[in-house]
Structure 1
Amino acid sequence: MNDRIEISSIIRKRTLGLTLVLGAASFAFAQQKVNVSGKIVDKQNQAVPYASVTFGNKANKQFSDATLTDEKGGFEIGLVPGNYDVTIEAIGYKKITSNRQISNAGNLGNLTVESESSGPLSKTQDIQGVTIVATTKPVKVEIDKKTYDVKSDLTAIGGNLQDVLQNVPSVSVDPDGTVSMRGSSNVKFLVNGKPSALLGIDDGANALQSIPADQIDRIEVITNPSAKFDASGTAGILNIILKKTTKMGFNGSVVGTLGYLPRTSLNTNLSWKKGNLTWFLNGGGGYTESKGKNWTDAVYSVYPNYPDANGTQFLQRGYQSTESKNFFKNYNGSAGMVYDLNANNSVNASVTLRRFESESNSPVTYTDYLTDNTIATGYRNSTGNNSNNGIQGDFGFDHKFDDKGQNLSFSLSLQRNDSDSQSLIDQNYRQKSLQDKLNQNTLSKSLVGKIDYELPIGEQSMFNVGYKIDANKNDYSFNVLRNIGDGFSTIGVEPYNNNTNYSELINAAYIQFKSKINNFGYQVGLRDELSNITINYQNLSGTDNINDKKKNYNNLFPSVFLSYDLGKNNQFLLNYSRRISRPRSWFLVPYMSFNDSQNIFKGNADLNPSYIDSFELGYNLSKKKFTLNPVVYFKRENDDVKMALAFVNGTFITQPMNLGVDQRIGLDLNYSYDPFSWWKIMGEFDLYQYKTTGDYYYSSEDPNDPNQTIQNHVSFDGKGNSARIRMSNTFKIDKTFNIQLQGNYRAAQIEGANDNKAMYFVNLGATKTIWKGDGTIAFNIQDIFNTRSRNVIQTGNGFTRESFMQWSPRQFSLSLTYRFKQGEKVDQPKRKKDINANDQGGEDQGPPM
């Protein structure tokens, strides 16, 4: 009963404070206000969301004002300079009042509140009916990043990271799982601010399917990272923040999903927070089937430089098609704890396990149209399996020097990933009957250590400095054996057998300073990265020897961020950063593909890093019903790495090369609009102009002398305009039922020799809250019209090839979420229930990392 009285008192005081301000608007508006910000935390330095912060002006009550903290405990308010009594009230915490002299704009730092003593569970029942209304937006814009709230996406419930990324600003996902930002696929992935074993060492969709959507809280989109972040990833950084608990007592949720093809999963998030100790246990697994469809249609000459070679029969057209079936099993689990040694020191530790299994069956049919008007057919069938095991251990220590924001943090991460695959390939093609075995193993080990220090300087400034060591070792083994009648041997397939050992050591240090002068804010930083890379090639056959490589380079990476506030939630942003793209380790491996002998991926031992200069000018306007965030950007990447395609002796060979310069300028417009309380609109429009220039050489057999080779030169100058458009509409049918319709469109674009055709798809999601908010039923359809596919036309010296690829057809699923909770502060999600049409009950579980 006392809690009800206290809550009512909070609401009355909040209402009274706002009434006073509104009643004296004409007087106060004429006064010069300054922006004051801060953060409310508890004794364990955990954020206290939705706390009431009242500033009572001691000289003139007409200047008094009040506000609520956001979900991270932060607040910002405009005040007339003067002497104020600051009163903080939050459910479950003791009321505190302190005196502050407000003279200039600035940050008050952390304001600490003390938790009330725990009561019986009946205390929770007393406060369940209280609703405090606040405003949340699916996308939050900060000076150096955008943050996407995953809870706003109904179409991803019961899905995985790949489903979530389809609606993230500035991000696109190809049907094969390739992720790009503003048209570039060189994206750096982080989980909770660091590389993670959850993503494994797979490339494409396999990695994205390893993290369930139910474990993701938000995604930070960093198109121009500051000096505090790694300089790698010229397109930018996607930082996946997993859910963590802010509630006392035992809390958790279980999510089960059933779907077609089929698609099943079961995931749970459990946590316990009591006193100085918080622990968590997350885990789950799933089974998925997919059906892929691929075809290529090529018109070419075997000897393009000698089309009239006497006595040579060469193909004029070749067509091949595949309808594959893939089976995936995924398991992951994380456990850890955070312990507060005292008010200023805390330690955390966690371990993550991951296992991914897959089976595939990929039959290929060949149809060749020969020059003598005859047709030759053949087939190729590949059956295989893959297993990927990952383990990661993390340890961290945090020290708070004082309550003004001076902090020191240390973290250490050890990771190991082991991927092993086998394939059996039967082929009857070009009058040859072959049977091959393919074995591939990748072992990856890494150590990442970080130390960061932050020091507030006055009320407006922050100084950061840090160091990071990143050591990686990848061992690749690629082995192809051919059945020669009396057993399997390397005879006939010698060039494809190799072992490669890749070692990388990166030492990095950064310094960064952030401050604000009236309405002008700035952040400058400098990062230095020293890279030492060693590559040891051990070719089993000895027929394609490559000299070992050592690559050492030291680079400086500056970053500058400027902002100017026109008013609250109304500002201009200007930034610049320089970044690097180191060649992916498996790009340097001689061979890592043999599934299709007519289409080979070949590594390039001579790849060098690419460097990019990136500029952005943005505007951010956030109102109650709408937000607008247009960004004009310019990027120029030198020694750009792209896939070069060559037709050599009847085989298409794809190889990464430093091709030249990639330059683009564009307008990326993100927006949200709530025309009515039951209708929310969120979307993005990215229009850009691109220009790609470069050239490359490749060798092929001389048709007049098989013992000689000739050099072929390919140059390109691709330019044009392209666009990406996405929009989601969310409809609140009633307080418990929501529907979301999401559309995506990507226009055509030419990159080097690749002419990528337009692509579009539409998703649908719906949720129904049940069991008095403890449960949610969700239904979604991915790719309603079955249009999500990739179509590319490639043109080169003597050939034109069109390719089509659909990773998986239309899918739908039904999910059930059950939330169980007890203890203090479990009422917090209920405060937000009537605010967000996409609210799923507000579970906030997961690793506090």
Structure 2
Amino acid sequence: MTAFFKKTIYVLCCLATSPFVNAQQENDITITGTLIEEETLQSVPYATIALNDKNTNKTITGTTSNDEGKFSLVTSISNFYIEISFMGYKTETIADVSVSNGKVDLGTIKLAPDNQALDEIVVTGEVSKTVFKLDKRVFNVGKDISSTGASALEVLNNVPSVNVNIEGAISLRGSSGVQILINGKPSVLADQSSNALGTITADMIESIEVITNPSAKYEASGTSGILNIILKKEDKEGWNGSISINTGIPDNHSIGGSLNRRTEKFNLFTQFGVGYRSLPEDTEAINRNLTNNETIFSNGEEFRNETFFNITLGTDYHLNENNVFTLSGNFAYEIEDQPSETNFSFFNTNGLFSRWIRNETTEATNPKWQYEFNWKKIFENNEDHTLQVSALGRFFGKDQSSQFTDTTLEGNDVDSNQRTATNFQQADYTFKVDYVNPLSKEYTIETGAQYVINDVSNDFEVQDFVDGDYMTNEDLTNNFEWNQKVLGVYATGAYENNSWGIKAGLRIEHTALNTLLTNTNEANSQNFSNLFPTLHTSYKTGENFSLQAGYSKRIFRPRLWDLNPFFNIRNNFNIRVGNPDLQPEFTNSYELTSIYKIGKASLSSSLYHRYTTDVVERVSTFNDNVTLTTPQNIGTNSSIGFETNGKYSPAKWLTLTGDFNLNYFDRQGTFEAQVFDFTGSQWSTQLGSKIGLPADIDLELTGSYRSGFETVQGEQSGFAFMDLGLRKKIFKGKIVTNLGIRDVFSSRIQERFVNQPTFETYDFGQRGRFFTFGISYGFGKGEAMTYSGRRR
């Protein structure tokens, strides 16, 4: 046992039997002081201050510094010296003191870092490693990461197959849309849009579960994967916080802060932010009527300017070692301004017929909030024997008004004005209970239920300017109501030994969906129940190689905007509307995955087959030079694919990541007597590098390519793009600066062609290059944790 730990234990014993509770004697000496770091001038909490006898060198009494680095102790002897120690810092000894009126004021004492000791801790401490389980991989966070004071995002970036860019966007196996859970449940802290993960530090995290093919425990609606962050049952007491200031081009300005305070019973956390951003987009469209040779060209620039405010508050209450309660909430408020200008040109067989500009002015306010309650009970016989109950509520509102003005520039007069008003409200509620019982070391059963309620109302009105006044257009005005309830119940059973295991599960989900167009009284009700079986097995040959095989049945339920039959009339020659009669997709997913480590490289390769019925596709129809795009259920899709990804760190300063996905698909289907049978392929790749430069600077480069592919009516173009990021740490991470360039070459595009016998359409969109710069300052424990503003 090191001298530091011996000294600490002795001091704690002194504190337990300290005579401080008695009245202070007249000859007592009170010693006070404040501890700070030499380099950063930050306070040093929880350091050990020992008062030793000069003759015997034995410790007489002692104490620890508080959150502000201050300490105070009392002694009745005068022949003493003081020894101050804290892990990672050089021990400070003070032998010559001056007593005045029974007091010794040591003032501010600077502790210097002990770099050699820190290196020894990293080398000999517990190293993070990945453990292969039946239906997931578990990344256990060792002291090499937990002792660094990094944020949860930094920890995620160390997990194989997971990538977090400098802006904080999380991807799994190269795909976004990852669901983040905290202790197996949705959480306010897991909301990526608010960056609330910045309030979680590395030393709070026990492990991270990576789930790419979920079992019956998780809801059957699909995502690209699940990352489940498991927090430690017992957290060290302390506090940490940070404040960030960011700016960017186009406008992207924000200031935000976070604070986390942990005591024996409570973990209190908060985050706040305010900012303004602008999101421009260049657009282009062509509608070509092949029957009469009429063509409409349009191009323009759209903006979405947004001022936003948000705050998160929450607490974990440890009633005792077996019961933890969590209560948290988030409130956000957004003010939107969406100006746009689109140029139109209409040509017929005689040439230019008309040319005009359509201007839009849109204003909106969006209040939103969410709240969470969770209770986790750990049974005394086994810490893995748990019961967890949670409730999560969300609300989003939008009060929007738009003004559209058409101004003729040349040719036939098309001057006209329109305006719209939208009152949108959405409330979502999730209630969940999960029970896990490890019957023995090898056998485990799980069961639980989830109830999700989605309730939406979208009141939309369109007015045309006629004879000097605005009149309601009844054909385009309506109130759309959407209500969906999903009840899921599941059970799984698993057997797993040191090398092999199998897990089977069954989930039953009942969906009740109702839509209503109130002014036409068009109602649609769907009630259906489905079984979602899952089967997973794994075989491990050792620490460095594992095979996993899995099967699951998944569902894609149409979202609100897939069902809502009303639309934005920004460009009334290219209209996208929903389909209230849309049916859900069902997918049978089979996956065989090998996971292996070769030296400093971790690799994962998968063969997969997915068969989807009632595939939802965007189908375009053409009438009077207007393209109407509606989602429809079009037949089946059978796909076979191969995916491989890896992470390689040949040196401490260099990490390389890569992902490659090849997908071959066979489409079968018909729509309105048109046959959509064809085969095709699509592939994508992503290469990334993180380079540690001198002066504690990190460089990140990420290049991506997505190939084009054939669609049911045409094709989608491919594109390549690259992102760049620079990060500089100052004062051991207490200050962090970030510079980011998204889409360095302005090459990321959305380009879609529709080629049909009677018409052709072309749609193009591009957001362009974005520059961001931010600086963050961390106080208390840990590093600065960047708040880059809310992401939509």
What TM-score do the two structures reach when normalised by structure 1?
0.72
Report deviation, 1:141. 7.2
Q: Select the residue among 535, 550, 555 that pairs with 2:515.
A: 535
Q: Select the residue among 312, 316, 322 that pairs with 2:294.
A: 316
Residues 1:570 and 1:480: Cα distance change in structure 2 (over 3 Å): same
Report deviation, 1:740. 1.3
What residue number does 2:532 align with? 557
Q: Select the residue among 172, 175, 180 that pairs with 1:171.
A: 175
What residue number does 1:736 align with? 696
Residues 1:5 and 1:438: Cα distance change in structure 2 (over 3 Å): same
> What is the CA deviation profile of residues 116-154 of structure 1, one whole-angstrom value per residue up to 9, with x for unaligned ones?
996655654665642324798899976435789742769
What residue number does 1:144 align with? 135
What residue number does 1:606 align with? 581
Q: Do residues 519 (structure 1) and 499 (structure 2) align?
A: yes
Q: Select the residue among 381, 392, 413 that pairs with 2:359.
A: 381
After TM superposition, the structure 1 = structure 2 runs for residues 168-567 of structure 1, keeping only pairs within 5 Å, are 168-171=172-175, 211=195, 214=198, 222-233=211-222, 235-237=223-225, 246-301=235-290, 307=291, 314-404=292-382, 405-428=384-407, 431-490=413-472, 493-539=473-519, 545=520, 547-567=522-542
> What is the CA deviation profile of residues 777-830 of structure 1, one whole-angstrom value per residue up to 9, with x for unaligned ones?
221211111111112111234112222101x22112222121111xxxx5xx6x
Report deviation, 1:663. 2.0
What residue number does 1:63 align with? none
- One-letter amino acid matched to 1:459: K
Report deviation, 1:599. 1.4
- One-letter amino acid matched to 2:483: S
Report deviation, 1:515. 2.1
Are the counterparts in 2 of residues 415 and 445 from structure 1 also a CA contact under 8 Å?
A: yes
What residue number does 1:4 align with? 4
Q: Do residues 811 (structure 1) and 770 (structure 2) align?
A: yes
What residue number does 2:705 align with? 745
Aligned partners of 2:210 and 2:417: how far apart in 1?
A: 46
- One-letter amino acid matched to 2:693: I
Residues 1:843 and 1:318: Cα distance change in structure 2 (over 3 Å): closer
| DSSP 3-state at the match of 1:556 | strand
Aligned partners of 1:606 and 1:440: how far apart in 2?
A: 23
Are the counterparts in 2 of residues 157 and 778 from structure 1 also a CA contact under 8 Å?
A: no
Report deviation, 1:578. 0.2
- One-letter amino acid matched to 2:363: N
Are the counterparts in 2 of residues 586 and 592 from structure 1 also a CA contact under 8 Å?
A: no
| DSSP 3-state at the match of 1:772 | coil
| DSSP 3-state at the match of 1:587 | helix
Aligned partners of 1:606 and 1:814: how far apart in 2?
A: 46
| DSSP 3-state at the match of 2:220 | coil
Residues 1:607 and 1:777: Cα distance change in structure 2 (over 3 Å): same
Report deviation, 1:608. 1.1
Aligned partners of 1:519 and 1:795: how far apart in 2?
A: 54
Aligned partners of 2:246 and 2:413: how far apart in 1?
A: 48
- One-letter amino acid matched to 1:267: G
What residue number does 2:779 align with? 820
What residue number does 2:24 align with? none
Q: Higher relative contact order by CA 8 Å / sep ≥ 6: 1 or 2?
A: 1
Residues 1:156 and 1:380: Cα distance change in structure 2 (over 3 Å): farther
Aligned partners of 1:7 and 1:559: how far apart in 2?
A: 55
| DSSP 3-state at the match of 2:582 | coil
- One-letter amino acid matched to 2:433: I
Aligned partners of 1:4 and 1:574: how far apart in 2?
A: 49
- One-letter amino acid matched to 1:507: L
Residues 1:221 and 1:3: Cα distance change in structure 2 (over 3 Å): same
Aligned partners of 1:320 and 1:407: how far apart in 2?
A: 59
Aligned partners of 1:5 and 1:729: how far apart in 2?
A: 40
Q: Do residues 572 (structure 1) and 547 (structure 2) align?
A: yes
Are the counterparts in 1 of residues 131 and 543 from structure 2 also a CA contact under 8 Å?
A: no
Q: Select the residue among 674, 677, 682 that pairs with 1:717.
A: 677
- One-letter amino acid matched to 2:776: T
Please, which moves more after superposition, 123-132 or 283-292? 123-132
Q: Do residues 621 (structure 1) and 600 (structure 2) align?
A: no
- One-letter amino acid matched to 2:501: G
| DSSP 3-state at the match of 1:132 | helix
Residues 1:126 and 1:602: Cα distance change in structure 2 (over 3 Å): closer
Report deviation, 1:634. 0.9
> What is the CA deviation profile of residues 322-371 of structure 1, one whole-angstrom value per residue up to 9, with x for unaligned ones?
11233122322111111111121121111111223321111111112211
| DSSP 3-state at the match of 1:548 | strand
What residue number does 2:746 align with? 786
Aligned partners of 1:137 and 1:727: how far apart in 2?
A: 24
Q: Do residues 132 (structure 1) and 122 (structure 2) align?
A: yes
Are the counterparts in 2 of residues 333 and 354 from structure 1 also a CA contact under 8 Å?
A: yes
Q: Please identify the structure whose Cα radius of gyration is greater.
A: 2
Residues 1:376 and 1:777: Cα distance change in structure 2 (over 3 Å): same
Are the counterparts in 1 of residues 388 and 435 from structure 2 also a CA contact under 8 Å?
A: yes
Report deviation, 1:189. 7.8
Aligned partners of 2:741 and 2:7: how far apart in 1?
A: 42
Report deviation, 1:239. 5.3
> What is the CA deviation profile of residues 293-328 of structure 1, one whole-angstrom value per residue up to 9, with x for unaligned ones?
010123224xxxxx4xxxxxx453221101123312
Residues 1:433 and 1:281: Cα distance change in structure 2 (over 3 Å): same
Aligned partners of 1:374 and 1:742: how far apart in 2?
A: 45
What residue number does 2:725 align with? 765
Residues 1:584 and 1:635: Cα distance change in structure 2 (over 3 Å): same
Aligned partners of 2:372 and 2:63: how far apart in 1?
A: 32
What residue number does 2:26 align with? none
Are the counterparts in 2 of residues 298 and 802 from structure 1 also a CA contact under 8 Å?
A: yes
After TM superposition, the structure 1 = structure 2 runs for residues 146-161 of structure 1, keeping only pairs within 5 Å, are 150-151=153-154, 159=167
Aligned partners of 1:611 and 1:486: how far apart in 2?
A: 52
| DSSP 3-state at the match of 2:339 | strand
Identity of aligned residues (%): 24
What residue number does 2:633 align with? 658
Aligned partners of 1:581 and 1:629: how far apart in 2?
A: 26
> What is the CA deviation profile of residues 82-117 of structure 1, one whole-angstrom value per residue up to 9, with x for unaligned ones?
xxxxxxxxx999xxxxxxxxxxxxxxxxxxxxxx99
Are the counterparts in 1 of residues 460 and 479 from structure 2 also a CA contact under 8 Å?
A: yes
Are the counterparts in 2 of residues 641 and 658 from structure 1 also a CA contact under 8 Å?
A: yes
Report deviation, 1:734. 3.3
| DSSP 3-state at the match of 1:228 | coil
Report deviation, 1:665. 1.1
Aligned partners of 1:418 and 1:290: how far apart in 2?
A: 21
| DSSP 3-state at the match of 1:495 | coil
> What is the CA deviation profile of residues 511-568 of structure 1, one whole-angstrom value per residue up to 9, with x for unaligned ones?
11222134112221111111112222212xxxxx463121100111011111100111
Aligned partners of 2:3 and 2:678: how far apart in 1?
A: 67
Aligned partners of 1:329 and 1:193: how far apart in 2?
A: 33
Residues 1:7 and 1:365: Cα distance change in structure 2 (over 3 Å): farther
Are the counterparts in 1 of residues 189 and 197 from structure 2 also a CA contact under 8 Å?
A: no
| DSSP 3-state at the match of 1:496 | coil
Aligned partners of 1:625 and 1:414: how far apart in 2?
A: 43
Report deviation, 1:773. 3.0
> What is the CA deviation profile of residues 29-63 of structure 1, one whole-angstrom value per residue up to 9, with x for unaligned ones?
xxxxxxxxxxxxxxxxxxxxxxxxxxxxxxxxxxx
Report deviation, 1:843. 9.6
Report deviation, 1:214. 4.8
Superposed CA RMSD in Å reads: 3.4
- One-letter amino acid matched to 1:389: P
Residues 1:695 and 1:194: Cα distance change in structure 2 (over 3 Å): farther
